């Protein structure tokens, strides 16, 4: 399976600023590295699109997974909204992908089981490049909102990151 820590390098992604600053690319990489550990511990073969802070084009991410014939592509992200009170977790899959939808449903179920007090924003279809250009089932996980001060603290907490990675890994492992 291929894990894609979204954004990187010159592309920071969303930036949370209250009560402190956290760039999405930094969060995405930390969570992705933890997810890699969890999946390997469950016996899965895992590759990463990036292991450090560097820029990659979206099509390059998809092409990498395609060249390696990955069984699943998982892009890790945080979310952002104009209103600071917006919160919740959601998982996207490519429009019409039945296998992608199954992975997305199980991942969000496991995340919300681990964090039942978080809002369920559901499973959604999207035509994001990394979902559209991969030849295997693909999901894009949005863990929470960096624009929400309470959720920014949640995302920055190493224990929460570890639990999020475990929940995502469980969802993947239970679907394969």
The H-or-E segment that residue 151 falls in is helix 149-156
Residue-wise pLDDT tens digits, 2-45: 999 999 999 999 999 999 999 999 999 999 999 999 999 999 99
* pTM > 0.85: yes
Report, as an integer, the average pLDDT of 142-151: 98
DSSP string, 94-156: ETT-HHHHHHHHHHHHHHHHH-TTS-EEEEEEE--HHHHS-SS-EEEEEEEETTSHHHHHHHH
Report, as an integer, the average pLDDT of 127-137: 98
The domains found in the chain, sorted by start residue, are: 2-175 (3.40.630.40)
Task: Using pLDDT thresholds of 50, 70 and 90, give the confidence band for residue 68.
Answer: very high
Residue 6 CA to residue 54 CA, distance in Å, equals 10
Task: Using pLDDT thresholds of 50, 70 and 90, give the confidence band for residue 176.
Answer: confident
């Amino acid at each position: 399976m291929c894990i894609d820590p979204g954004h990187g390098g010159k592309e920071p992604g969303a930036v949370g600023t209250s009560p402190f600053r956290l760039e999405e690319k930094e969060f995405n990489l930390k969570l992705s590295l933890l997810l890699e550990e969890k999946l390997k511990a469950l016996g899965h073969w895992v590759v990463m699109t990036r292991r450090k802070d560097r820029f990659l084009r979206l099509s390059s991410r998809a092409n990498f997974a395609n060249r390696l014939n990955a069984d699943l592509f998982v892009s890790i992200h945080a979310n952002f909204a104009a209103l600071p009170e917006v919160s919740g977790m959601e998982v996207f899959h490519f429009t019409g992908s039945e296998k992608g939808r199954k992975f997305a449903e199980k991942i969000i179920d496991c995340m919300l089981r681990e964090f039942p007090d978080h809002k369920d924003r559901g499973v959604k279809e999207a035509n994001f490049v990394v979902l559209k250009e991969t030849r295997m089932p693909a999901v894009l996980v949005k863990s929470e909102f960096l624009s929400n001060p309470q959720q920014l603290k949640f995302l920055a907490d190493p224990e929460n990151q570890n639990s999020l990675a475990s929940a995502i890994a469980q969802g993947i492992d239970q679907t394969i």
